[in-house]
Structure formats: structure tokens, C-alpha cells
Chain A
Amino acid sequence: EAGVTQSPTHLIKTRGQQATLRCSPISGHTSVYWYQQALGLGLQFLLWYDEGEERNRGNFPPRFSGRQFPNYSSELNVNALELEDSALYLCASSLGGVTGVSQPQHFGDGTRLSIL
């Protein structure tokens, strides 16, 4: 069974540009989560999508946005990139998360975003 896949592996941008990161969940999983892991820091929750809807959002500015497609894949968009956006962006997936039962989240290998 294929795991969570993310693309691209690495992305280099300059300040002010826009970045798009992509994630394909494990087959059968309808929930997708995005996390930011800055160097030396823990995992910071960004966004949670389930069945095409945004279910929850972390404490990040509106220039961090995303969407989930009918096939449950997802993309994260970061506009007006700033130097502090440099980080590893991790995507995770799980079985449907709105049923009220906590589900394990399975992570992809991440996209390393570097802002020059």
C-alpha cells in the first residue's frame, strides 16, 4: 500500500513569491493535515481538510491557504513568501476525522521549502 506522497521534495523560492505544495493521501483516507516544522522546532499545525472542507486551522496568517480535491489529494499555497517560511512542510492523512473518534495520522516525507 502506498503511503502519503508529497511533491516536490525541495522547493526554492525568493521573498514575495508564491509556493504550491502537493499531497496525495493513503488510499481510503479522506482527511489531510498540513504541518510546518521549522529547523529545531516541533510540528506546528497548519490546516486540516476532510471531505473537501477546511475543518480546522492553526495560528498562521491568511497567506497560508489550501484546498482538497474530490480525489482527496490536497495542495498548500503560501503567498507573499517570507524568510521565516523556510521549513519542512509535512502532510499527513487519516481516515475520516469528523466522526468524533481520534484517528492516527500518517505522515509523508515532506517538502523542504527554502526562501532566499
Chain B
Amino acid sequence: QQPVQSPQAVILREGEDAVINCSSSKALYSVHWYRQKHGEAPVFLMILLKGGEQKGHDKISASFNEKKQQSSLYLTASQLSYSGTYFCGTEIIGTSYGKLTFGQGTILTVHP
């Protein structure tokens, strides 16, 4: 039931773009995205609800393809502060709201 994230790791130069994918084998209520820096708590980025919406925040946006149960996180013009591990958390239809099943994480490293 754990969603699969790809790639496992990505290395960028400042200003480059990246896409992180999250794929589930189960039908989903929602997808949540978090970023965790080493030794710190995960920080909420955005939530996408069933309905195929797309959201954006500054230069970070995401989409949710309900038919494919896939979500993608788009980071444009990356900054050094984007470095960290990105997790997607999924709420699976058939279980109750609130129980997030997280992917294994994608390590993003941005170099100057």
C-alpha cells in the first residue's frame, strides 16, 4: 500500500527544475507533500484532493491525476533552500481520513 516515489534521489544546480513523482496502487482521497531537512521535522508543502486539481505555491506546484492515482511535485528555478527529502503521503479510499501512508522519500540536493 506504500506509494512509490521516483526518482529516489536527484541532484540539481541552482536554477534548474525537478519533478518528483508519487504513484499508488490504491484509489486515493488525497495526496500530501512534505519536505524534511536533516534533523528537522517534516514541513507541509501542499495537499491535493480527489478531483485532479493542481496547486501551486511560489515556484513549487503539484498535480494529482485521479485516474492514474499519481501525483507529481514540480520545483522550478530551484534554490539552495529546496534541498531536503521530499515525502508524499497518501490517504487511501477505504481507510479513514487522516491515516497517511508515506512513500520512501526522494532526496533532493541543490548545489550552487
Number of A residues near B (Cβ < 8 Å) is: 28
Residues of A within 8 A of B99 (CB): 45, 48, 56, 58
Residues of B within 8 A of A56 (CB): 95-96, 98-99
Number of B residues near A (Cβ < 8 Å) is: 26
The answer to whether A97 touches B42 (Cβ under 8 A) is no
The answer to whether A102 touches B102 (Cβ under 8 A) is no
Contact of B89 among A43, A100, A109, A110 (CB under 8 A): A43
Residues of B within 8 A of A44 (CB): 102
Binary B-proximity of A86-116 (CB < 8 A = 1, otherwise 0): 0000100010011011111111111000000
The answer to whether B44 touches A105 (Cβ under 8 A) is yes
A30: min CB distance to chain B, Å: 11
B105: min CB distance to chain A, Å: 6
The answer to whether A42 touches B103 (Cβ under 8 A) is yes
A59: min CB distance to chain B, Å: 10
| Contacts A42-B87, A102-B30, A102-B49 given; does A107 touch B42 at CB 8 Å | yes
Q: Does A75 contact B (CB under 8 A)?
A: no
Q: Does A33 contact B (CB under 8 A)?
A: yes
Contact of B32 among A58, A90, A105 (CB under 8 A): A105
CA distance A31 to B106 in the complex (A): 27
The answer to whether A107 touches B43 (Cβ under 8 A) is yes
The answer to whether A97 touches B87 (Cβ under 8 A) is no
Contact of B97 among A42, A98, A110 (CB under 8 A): A98
CA distance A106 to B98 in the complex (A): 12
Q: Does A55 contact B (CB under 8 A)?
A: yes
A106: min CB distance to chain B, Å: 6
* Residue positions of A touching B, CB distance < 8 A: 4, 31, 33, 41-45, 48, 50, 55-56, 58, 90, 94, 97-98, 100-110
A sample of 6 more A-B contacts (CB under 8 A), given A50-B98, A98-B97, A109-B41, is A42-B102, A42-B105, A55-B96, A56-B96, A102-B91, A107-B41
- Can you list 13 pairs linking A and B with CB atoms under 8 Å apart? A41-B104, A42-B103, A43-B100, A43-B102, A45-B100, A45-B101, A55-B98, A98-B97, A100-B97, A102-B47, A104-B44, A104-B47, A107-B34
